[in-house]
Structure 1
Amino acid sequence: MKQNKYDDKNFFDKYSNMDRSKNGLKGAGEWHELKKMFPDFEGKKVLDLGCGFGWHCRFAIENGAKSVIGVDISEKMLNEASNKTESENIQYICMPIEDIDFPDNSFDVIISSLALHYIQSFEDILSKISKCISKGGDFIFSVEHPIFTAQGTQDWYYDDKGNILHWPVDQYFTEGLRNASFLGEEVIKYHRTLTTYLSSLIKAGFEITGIVEPKPAENLLYTIPGMFDELRRPMMLLVSARKK
């Protein structure tokens, strides 16, 4: 069964109170880098996998996209996305990312923000993406960085006074399931090496056009507690690629 943590009321309420949930793209620490990787959306057909509240769907439409389909497993997330959406050119579909089955060459751009580390098989979803994206189409995604996911617990090591010592990295080359803690809840994620992410893209017929390990936006360093600690290790990996 595919994981659907976001329809749990307690977890959803916690997620909804995060800065990135309340403030949208400007509250996302990686947005200042991710938006640079997006292509020209003018006249494009766009797919957003794991669209959540629909921030990227609406951004694409606001920047000229012809149509956008947002896919997410969570009804609660999509209800919120619908409430925030006025454009008739955005369609939200409630289904697991793993179950997509769009016709060949359906989209010019495919986006996925912080969702693919919840998917067990990166290769399988890449095969589906490669099928439904047109030749020359752009695939842009963000995931939690392999350094962030390797240990599994996703927390710092502290001294006996509660001060941060360092970020643990262990079992890096052992890919697979991790029981992580997110918002005080246990969440299943999947760890992959940087090699797996990049080589899988190449094998699936993509040309890598950009790689960024983003630092937090400078303005957020002074407005969100603990954000300076995010400069001590990469939390996210951003990748852009083009279908050959």
Structure 2
Amino acid sequence: MNRNIYDDNVFFEKYSQMERSTKGLSGAGEWETLQQLLPDFNGKRVLDLGCGFGWHCQYAIEHGAKAVTGVDVSEKMLTVAKEKTSSTIRYIHMPIEEAAFDEQSYDVVISSLALHYIESFEQVARKVARCLVANGDFVFSVEHPVFTAYGSQDWYYAEDGSIAHFPVDRYFYEGERTTNFLGENVVKYHKTLTTYLQALIGEGFEITAVVEPQPSQHLLDTVTGMKDELRRPMMLIIAAKKK
């Protein structure tokens, strides 16, 4: 994630207007599912990789965490995080790939929609395994491999403008993809489901949950076009425990 689009003035302004930016966790469609998979934070040391505006860090503090560290490559996002969240949260301005943590220094590691910007998930899994205590929890969300495979991350439209289908191609060709997000070219890294799961297993994790979150019934009933989100998975959430 060294090519950091989130510090681009135009992109950051657009991202700041999204519901997940203005409303925090309640504005994130996957939050209801992710929340159910989070461990008890009470008395825990928590690390958030790709913390963004710090909403998950704040949630951990509010639910009893004794120490929370957030890491993000975006200076602009961390500036907002420091303004809007608890002063007890420690923020580190650094790419996830370059951040180093002491062995067994955290009880919980979380990450929300950040790791698809990282080229090597194996490196991340190794880093997390090292800094977690035994029986520590690793819970993260990423864009679903079906969503990242082709690259465009847009529907295929029929001649009349209606949605025909969602393209999935080059699934087993992992690596860099350039997509259009908020009108800007953004670089992400496609990985297969096998890569995510096997990297965790290889580093000694026990996988405790794999969930493809769906829109809540409220969103399906109230947001125009939301029912189309049931036609393909957009996100993947994995919970694992260090053996």
| Normalised TM-score (structure 1) | 0.97
Determine the C-alpha separation between the residues in 2 that align with 1:98 and 1:225.
38
Tell me the equivalent position of 2:83. Answer: 83
Q: Tell me if structure 2 keeps the 8 A contact 1:66–1:89.
A: no
> What residue is the counterpart of 2:159 in the other structure?
160
Query: Who is 1:62 aligned against?
Result: 62
The one-letter amino acid paired with 1:201 is L
CA distance in structure 2 between the partners assigned to 1:7 and 1:197 by the alignment: 28
Give the gaps of 5 or more residues in structure 1: none
Report the equivalent of 2:203: 204
Report the number of matched residues: 243
> Match for residue 118 of structure 2?
119
- Check the 8 A contact 1:136/1:242 in 2, yes or no: yes
Q: CA deviation at 1:223?
A: 4.2
Look up the match of 2:192: 193
Q: Percent of pairs identical after alignment? A: 63
Q: Distance between the aligned counterparts of 2:196 and 2:30, measured in 1?
A: 19
Query: 1:112 deviation in Å?
Result: 0.4
Partner of 2:219: helix, strand, or coil? helix
- Offset of residue 224 of structure 1: 3.8
Q: C-alpha separation between the residues in 2 aligned to 1:184 and 1:33? A: 28
Q: Alpha carbon RMSD of aligned pairs, Å? A: 1.1
Q: Which residue identity is paired with 2:135?
A: G
Instruction: Read off the aligned partner of 1:137 and give its amino acid letter.
Output: G
User: Which runs of 5 or more residues in structure 2 are unaligned?
Assistant: none
Cα separation, 1, equivalents of 2:75 and 2:105: 24
The residue number in structure 2 matching 1:15 is 15
Runs of 4+ in 1 over 4 A off after TM superposition: none
**1:29 match:** 29
When structure 1 is superposed on structure 2, of 135-144 and 210-219 the one drifting more is: 210-219
**Structure 2 counterpart of 1:107, one-letter code:** Y
Cα distance between partner residues in 1 of 2:101 and 2:37: 24
Matches within 5 A, 1:105-144: 105-144=104-143
Separation in structure 2 between the aligned mates of residue 225 and residue 98 of structure 1, nearest angstrom: 38
CA distance in 1, matches of 2:88, 2:242: 24
Measured after TM superposition, the shift of residue 162 of structure 1 is 1.3
CA-to-partner distance for each residue in 1:36-78, whole Å, 9 max, x for gaps?
A: 1000000000000000010100000000000100000001101
